[in-house]
Amino acid sequence: MLRIGVDIGGTFTDFALHDAAAGRLAIHKRLTTPDDPSRAVIEGVVALCAESGVELTAISEIVHGTTLVTNAVIERKGARTGMLGTAGFTDIMDMGFERRYDLFDLRITYPQPLVPRSLRIEVPERVRYDGSVETALDEHAVTAAAAQFRAWNVKSVAVCFLNAYANPAHERRAAELLAAAAPDLFVSCSADVFQSMREFERWTTTTVNAFTGPMFDTYVARLETGLAGRGFRGSLYIMASSGGMLTTSTARRYPVRALESGPAAGALMSAAHGRALDLANLLSFDMGGTTAKGALVRGGEPIKKYEMEVARAYEFRRGSGMPVRIPVIDMIEIGAGGGSIATVDERGLLKVGPESAGAMPGPACYGQGGRRPTLTDANLMLGYLDASFFLGGKMSLDTGAAESAIAEGVARPLGVETMRAAFGIHDIICEDVARAFRIHATERAFDYRQSSMVAFGGSGPLHALRIARKLKIPRVVFPVAAGVMSALGLLESPLSFEVARSRRIHVADLDAASFGAQFAELEADASRILLDAGVAREDIRIVRRLDMRYQGQGHEIEVTLPEGADPAALFAGVEEQFGAAYERIYTLRLDEPAEIVNWKVEAVGPATGLGASYELAGVAAAETARKGTRRAYHPVQAEVTDWPVYDRYSLRPGMTLDGPALIEERESTVVVGPGDKVTVDARLNLVAVLDLASE
């Protein structure tokens, strides 16, 4: 089986072709095309196949990760969207949680709802909390609303009714009426998108789905048509935020599930490397041209959650964004990457990011018209990048342009030497990333000092060891093809789909039969998506989870039930499992009745088998690993010195390198600082061990 993973980033689009029979991997990297991201995807797939001597018709699967949905929400570039809501309740979208994320900031701001009040229509209907109907749906009002939406030139509608999670009948009927009266509308129902009991989060999630639906549908159609026109006859899948694959039909129906599509793939691949190296707890660090992402791997699996914020309105502060309820790999993302622009603020202090030069015009050294200094310009000037070996020599960099940009934009305003300014840019990014990861891990009771880091992305290996030293992380792993590892993670992802439903009930009010019945419908809904994609029923693995809490509490914890057993047979041990999970987190148990709030089922298809072992094709090892020396900035001596440069593809298992040193591959460079030691393991990973005892 020949499979291709494609990950679109803000600056570069990464490609990986895996030949499962031969266990070989071919990779490719090219600049993203912001005006039409599908163009870079199609051209890159064709180029990768040509370089590998493979016909596109022989490719069985293409798995695609993209931040297109996230960008559309942040930039407000989705469809004109309307909302159909329960009479008297649509102002919930403006009221939100009614809490301040900063008590003392008089300038506090929140993201505006994706559907303005002028495009919300209320209709008579009412479902009680228990699912019983208090007021029947006014079908004539729904039909009239459809005509009004068309008059307003609305392209998409979010149907958001009160308590629809308990009984979705009114929402489903409204969707049928809208489709009959206005078949060109893209309609999203809140109980279909994510069946959670909390109205505000359920409705914001639904409006995001509706807002991005037409755009994402057009993008996927363009991608399918373009690939088919080049000869592709296989299956195209989209990566979900949860780390699973979606068919294109499912992704078009639920574009909100692709909000963190690309970044989730890197965390999956980090976990695979951790399992292969027997490293259960990891910090996954991905840094590309635009952003840096961090995810925590605990017990061999990335930490997952069921809520996130998108489009944070003020300094990336938690609570300032739009809440979305979807299954997602828990990660932090900050505006720090190779294209991050360095400026001197009004206080005379150096600031780097979050504004990025992106792919166009890009950093000054790209020679595409960029004039502002960026992190890539700084790394080039510091000697950490080779101007003639960027992307393996496919793209040359202009060192003079980088130096001029840093001198004019940073060094002169600060009154420092240009080289010193360049290192300031480099180190500030390291400190920003370390600070973000420190907070993220601490909030989740994760001790990274007793863990390892897996570093990847085009810029990640350039900064990983310095960031690890700031965080006191003792070991850093640089996998093979680290520069395109998110594309590899796409090939690690299985086909999967997850559904959830809110139903509050005390455990004492259930019996084994009713407990099993609650899961049966969810299992059927989740499995249906995979069955429609051609997965055999016997190949589907079911994972059952519960959100539980003690009576009177306002928040719940997740309990994962043992796999394989009939759910009815698991009922007897549910309270004990909840008590044990609660005690692990809070070190005690309470003498209160336990209740279930949310029921969750994930259907998972067969594993892809990529794993953490593969042979990289298309590279030739030199007779000697050392390529020569290069003048680079020594952070301890604060001056430029000679650093040995090594060809990564010529390194062999068991070899050990002492820093300072530069280890080059086509897509990235590992900067080994003074005092660091790197060993090549049996899988050709570079494993750096930091001497932190003396610090």
Does residue 628 fall inside a structural domain?
Answer: no
Any idea which residue has 């990847």 for tokens?
456
Of the pLDDT bands very low, low, confident and very high (cuts 50, 70, 90), residue 617 is: low
Task: Give the DSSP H or E segment for 441.
Answer: helix 418-443
Give the global pTM.
0.84
Count how many domains the chain has.
Answer: 2
Average pLDDT over residues 2-6: 91
Domain final residue, candidates 573, 604, 635: 604
Q: What are phi and psi of 526, to 5 degrees?
A: -70, -40
Does residue 32 fall inside a structural domain?
Answer: no
Does residue 425 fall inside a structural domain?
Answer: no
Cα–Cα–Cα angle for 377, 379, 382, rounded to 5 degrees: 110
The domain in which residue 509 lies consists of 496-604
pLDDT higher than threshold 90 for residue 101:
no
Does residue 502 fall inside a structural domain?
Answer: yes
Nearest in space to 501 (alpha carbons), one of 164, 19, 113: 164
What beta strand segments (E) does 325-441 contain? Answer: 328-329, 331-334, 340-344, 350-356
DSSP assignment of 52-90: HT--GGG--EEEEE--HHHHHHHTT-S--EEEEEETT-T
The model's pLDDT over 226-264, given as tens digits with 9 standing for 90+, comes to: 999 999 999 999 999 888 889 999 999 999 999 888 778
Average pLDDT over residues 312-337: 80
CATH number for the domain harbouring residue 573: 3.30.1490
Domain final residue, candidates 171, 190, 205: 205
| SS3 (DSSP) at 153 | coil
Does residue 189 fall inside a structural domain?
Answer: yes
Whole-angstrom Cα distance, residue 366 to residue 395?
8
* Tokens matching residue 290: 């635009």
Name the average pLDDT for the chain. 89
pLDDT at res. 358: 80
Does residue 19 fall inside a structural domain?
Answer: no
Does residue 369 fall inside a structural domain?
Answer: no
- Judged on CB neighbours under 10 Å (0-12, 13-18, 19+), 57 is exposed
Of the pLDDT bands very low, low, confident and very high (cuts 50, 70, 90), residue 90 is: very high
Average pLDDT over residues 286-290: 86
Does residue 319 fall inside a structural domain?
Answer: no
pLDDT at res. 487: 87
The model's pLDDT over 138-171, given as tens digits with 9 standing for 90+, comes to: 999 999 999 999 999 999 999 999 999 999 999 9
Domain final residue, candidates 586, 604, 622: 604
Whole-angstrom Cα distance, residue 258 to residue 242?
9
